[in-house]
A and B are shown apart, each in its own frame.
Chain A
Amino acid sequence: MSATAGTVLEVRGLSRLYGDGCPDCLALTGPDAGTNICPQCHTIVACNNISFDLEQGEILGIVGESGSGKSTLLRCICFDEEATAGECYFAAFGDGRENVFSQTSQARRYIRNHLLGIVYQNPLMGIKPHFTAGGNVAEKLLTADVYNVSVIRERAATLLQRTEVPLARMDDFPANFSGGMQQRVQIAKALANNPPVLLLDEVSTGLDVSVQARVLDLIKEIQRDLGIAMIVVSHDLGVIRLLADRTGVMQHGQVIEFGLTDQILEDPQHSYTQLLVHSTL
């Protein structure tokens, strides 16, 4: 891992292919080729040789349209998908010297439970509807070896309050909650074990506008109060503008532009970024 103090996560040469693949897949796909499907072998190159760093306390935005590979990138980092190539290092795991993509499933589970928080677009992917709201948070705490009911309930209550889920609903089942509240339970759960890295995948998409605003404010507050490093994936430039310190723009599986969010939005260099920025209502 790089010697830069304060780098929390490093990704090097991450690629994700769907299909048999051929030696020319990476070269024949990408924004210049205008496609992420290899013309030779029809393999889909969802992520094409991606590298970046995540710094301590920052929010890194990844923006792109549907099919750009941004969600796939996130899913590879948290092991929901298997990266085809590349390396990934967490500062908190093995002193940042162990490539997490080559770890055993037990080690990966440890990383997911102790070092990562994940918030999905669909809250029901991150929480279990047949556990109570408190139970969902408890699950994260139990995998982090907290075996005291009072402590669990106290911590769960604190987190749920922080994410503005009414305490009275702590023992209710999220299946009966609104989408916005389900999302907030998911965020509470993701924070339960104080992870150094939080991954958020289109977390406000699909919510009512006012609810969106509250969820995004919540995320900003959490980042301010807890200083957690985050990767926020979104197709919505407004979300990126609000949250992200630095941003990467993805198209056809590659990062085409990377830098300070303000600079990218004020003065986009790549033609695609220009298109995105100018298309924003």
Chain B
Amino acid sequence: MSVNQNQSRKNRGYNFAFLDENTKREIRRKLLKAVAIPGYQVPFASPELPIARGWGTGGLQITMAIIGPEDVLKVIDQGCDGSVNAVNIRKLLVKTTGVETTFDTNAASIIQTRHRIPEETMRQDQILVLQVPIPEPLRYVEASEAKTREMHGEMDYSRMWVYLYENIVQYGEITIGARYPCLVNRRYLIDPSPIPRWDVPKLNQAETLYLFGAGREKRIYALPPHTQVEPLEFEDFRFRVEDFTGRFCARCGATDTFMNELYDSRSGRKLFVCSDSGYCDRRRERAAGQDLVGADGSEGGAIEGKEAG
């Protein structure tokens, strides 16, 4: 048993992974139902956690329900392990489970994420848990939960389609950025969480299991491996991911990842960097031929600030 696990045991009397066993059992049952009906939103009780609603309680409850002492955990927010919210969530999970953690996508068995899917393709022995603010894709066109539930039950998505059509008529293309509606298994429409469109293709016929948790709205849904996931598109207006033509990452030089544009705090200049910081670090490692990034995320060398396009 690791040092961490011993410490968590001595902790304030919390159950392993914080949730009591009854709550875990309910979540697991609901997860099974979600996996059995890909894309269907399963209601669950979603009791409160010490982390605020809207800050990841849904994803957290799923992770807490499925994590075991042998799991290796990675937590990211906007693709970054060091983001303050990811740090906070990781702290809570380590404190109540003592599990090993990593910044390396390939080494993790469970990854909890907010708003991004890692650049490196995940495997069938891994699970991705996504934090969801608004589980209802039809919220764009209908505010009432009772009505949207009916629309799903009847597979009546016509209003969503008209919304997209009107977008095209007005602007020449669909204006939905992230949270792009996708049809799952030719049956249920889902909100894939606010991942960028860049990440949507990773959902289709994937090897890995995707679990979605909306704590505040109290819904769980899932995409089992090898499920058909198709973003809504017209035959003549196809789904389009974000365009980074001509851009490259100022840290590692990549041209084929999802990038954040930012203003360097010292020089004030606009830069682009990989959103997936773990992936970016590994590319830099390989380029430099040395292990720059330790398991705890501490950095080795200094960063050369290159100006990007």
Contacts and interface: CB of A to CB of B under 8 A. Distances in A.
Please say whether chains A and B are actual partners in one complex.
yes
Interface of A: 105-106, 109, 131-132, 134-135, 138-139, 142-143, 147-153, 171
Contacts of B143: none
B154 A139 contact: no
A155 B229 CA distance: 29
Given A147-B234, A147-B235, A152 B165 contact: yes
Interface of B: 154-156, 158-159, 161-162, 165-166, 168-170, 233-237
Nearest to B169: A171
A138 B159 CA distance: 10
A136 to B, nearest CB: 8
Given A147-B234, A149-B234, A106 B155 contact: yes
A265 to B, nearest CB: 42
Contacts of A109: 154, 156
Nearest to A144: B158
A131 B237 contact: no
Nearest to B150: A105
A83 B236 CA distance: 43
Nearest to A140: B158
B155 A138 contact: no
B162 A131 contact: yes
A135 B279 CA distance: 44
A135 B169 contact: yes
Contact of B236 (A105, A106, A139, A148): A148
Closest 5 CB pairs of A and B: A148-B235, A142-B161, A143-B158, A139-B162, A149-B234
DSSP class of A's interface residues: helix, strand, loop or mixed? helix
A149 B162 CA distance: 10
A147 B236 CA distance: 8
5 contacts: A109-B156, A138-B161, A148-B236, A153-B169, A171-B170
Given A132-B169, A148-B234, A148-B236, A105 B154 contact: yes
Contacts of B169: 132, 134-135, 153, 171
Contacts, number: 47
Contacts of A152: 165
A142 B237 contact: no
Contacts of B159: 139
Contacts of A131: 162, 166
Contact of B165 (A105, A138, A143): A138
Contacts of B170: 171
A215 B274 CA distance: 61
Contact of B166 (A106, A135, A143, A150): A135
A138 B163 CA distance: 10
Given A109-B154, A135-B169, A149-B237, 8 more contacts: A106-B154, A134-B169, A143-B158, A147-B233, A147-B234, A149-B234, A150-B236, A151-B236
A109 B170 CA distance: 29
Contacts of B156: 109, 143
B183 to A, nearest CB: 11
Contacts of A138: 161-162, 165
Contacts of A171: 169-170
A150 B168 CA distance: 11
Given A132-B169, A142-B165, A149 B158 contact: no
A135 B165 contact: yes
B167 to A, nearest CB: 10
Given A148-B235, A149-B236, A142 B158 contact: yes
Nearest to A142: B161
A106 B151 CA distance: 10
A280 B271 CA distance: 80
Most buried by A among B156, B162, B169: B162
Most buried by A among B156, B165, B166, B237: B165
A106 B155 CA distance: 8
B158 A139 contact: yes
A47 to B, nearest CB: 27
A105 B158 CA distance: 16
A147 B235 CA distance: 6
Contacts of A134: 169
Nearest to B234: A149
B23 to A, nearest CB: 35
A139 B166 CA distance: 10
A132 B168 CA distance: 12
A142 B162 contact: yes
Nearest to B157: A142
A132 B166 CA distance: 8
Contacts of A147: 161, 233-235
B162 A135 contact: yes
Nearest to B168: A149
Nearest to A149: B234
A106 B158 CA distance: 14
Contacts of B237: 149
A171 B165 CA distance: 11
B158 to A, nearest CB: 5
Contacts of B166: 131-132, 135
B181 to A, nearest CB: 14
Nearest to A106: B154
A152 B236 CA distance: 11
A173 to B, nearest CB: 10
A22 to B, nearest CB: 33
